[in-house]
Amino acid sequence: MLPTPEKFFLTAAAAEGHDHLTAFDKALLEAGIGNINLIKVSSILPPSAKYTPDLVISPGSLVPTAYGHIVSEVPGELISASVGVGFSTDSFGVIMEFSGKCTKEEANSQVEYMLRESFANREMELIDMKIKGIDHKVEHIGCALAAVPLWY
């Protein structure tokens, strides 16, 4: 059984590469999470998790992470990725991620909408949220990435 994460942060970055994987890898590096092993998780923030924006995680660590990304090889295309965390008064939080062919503002708006809906679906009060996004105009092969790494 894995321990429950106690810390988290939001990050977003974009980059170019010579192929899809290297564009994704460079975006991870730009986001500050390129030297850890991401374990993709779904959408629940543990109740005790604290926002820790300056968190440093050792290279090679296995890190539960909710993330969204998009890669495009269409020069001039605008791509974006966004993540958000919604907070309740006394319970767990919810994480939402979005990526698409749109502006950062549109991606952030979509994440906000999904957070509000997810809290309504759970009949929980949404008291606050943090959202982070990025957009990128593709030059050759570009990647936009947004993530919420969780740590212990």
For the question of residue 97 being annotated catalytic, the response is yes
The pTM assigned to this predicted structure is 0.96
The answer to whether 99 is a known catalytic residue is no
Residue range 50-86, pLDDT digits in tens: 999 999 999 999 999 999 999 999 999 999 999 999 9
Is 109 one of the catalytic residues? no
All residues at 6 or more sequence positions from 65 whose CB lies less than 8 Å from its CB, including other chains: 33, 38, 39, 40, 41, 147, 148, 149, 150
Active-site option among 43, 61, 88, 109: 43
Q: Spot the catalytic one: 72, 80, 82, 97.
A: 97
User: Catalytic annotation on 61?
Assistant: no
Domains of the chain, each with CATH number or no CATH: 7-36+44-49+66-151 (3.50.20.10)
Please write the tens of the pLDDT for every residue from 76-93.
999 999 999 999 988 999
Two tokens at 126? 């949404």
Of 37, 48, 125, 139, which residue is the catalytic one?
A: 37
